[in-house]
Structure 1
Amino acid sequence: MSAGDRGVQAFIGIGANLGDPEAQVRESFARLAKGLPKTRLTGRSRMFRNPPMGPQDQPDYVNAVARLYTRLEPLELLVELQGIECACGRERDGTRWGPRRLDLDLLLFGDQSLDLPGLQVPHAGIADRDFVILPLLELAPGLQIPGMGPLELLAQRFEGANLIPVAEPEASVTAAEGHG
């Protein structure tokens, strides 16, 4: 099953902890809204500050989740996301869980489960990351995660999580974000 002409809903995890992380996340929302072909931004979570998942000798992260409607195929969307990362100063040096100016992860692509070279959907760590599950819950509380079940049940593991909201979501997605 592909995105084809009808399109699918996709969710993107956003994270940054170098430079001005809040500005980086805001910039990524703007780029997702205006810079992707055959795609429109249809929702965004609040931004949250949280400790790094990997080595602790790095700054806290700011994370959020974006909801897209796209007619791109999964690997096409991944290439576009990596282009945004690069344009925002991301350098891929193979470091896992290290500091980053911007990280965009394709979390979900419709109801598909994919295991392709360079792309696993649902994202491999989705169920273990409060900074993904809780913002995702804001956008789509009734969502079913392929192979994992209801998002609401996954979120129960993270009650009392240490995420610190740093910004409220936008009241609505602006008209400029409707292009794609």
Structure 2
Amino acid sequence: MRYLDDSHRDLNGSDLGFLPATERVDATDCRTHPLAAAEPADTPALGRWTRRVVIATAIWSVFELPFETWVSLSTRDAVACVTAKLLWVALVGFVLAGSRVARIAYAFLCTIGLMAVAFGLPAEYRVFPLGFVLSSVECVLKATAFVCIVSAGVYPDEE
């Protein structure tokens, strides 16, 4: 017969309600085990193809710089293009060095750049066909780089 005041007992008959706190603590609780020395989290290394695509975005960025400065309307626009390319190449360097923050920023900027360029492709095709080809290659590279960076931890590179 089950009494109303025995609600703290489980089906095996153990008395969980009155166990000392140290016996109820889970074995993985950090309060019962001494803390291990803090080790930096290892970021997974970029795979071969991810590295190649990231490097390709930097090379393509530098390759299209003369065309972008050629169509710049002012010196200020040309300097802004050169500065943006230098910052992009520096970001690629940090991504290749293994910085997690740089990977996040790189993936974010790939997405933003891809969307900004892709929506202007139809107009660019009518006005500047060579720019359309250059921008199309940039879109393909940035989309590929984004997919590679985001999925880098899913299928680690086997070398």
TM-score of the aligned structures, taking structure 1 as reference length: 0.25
Q: Identify, as 1 or 2, the structure richer in strand.
A: 1
Which structure has the larger Rg over C-alpha atoms?
2
The normalised TM-score by structure 2 is 0.27
Query: Which of the two has greater helix per residue?
Result: 2
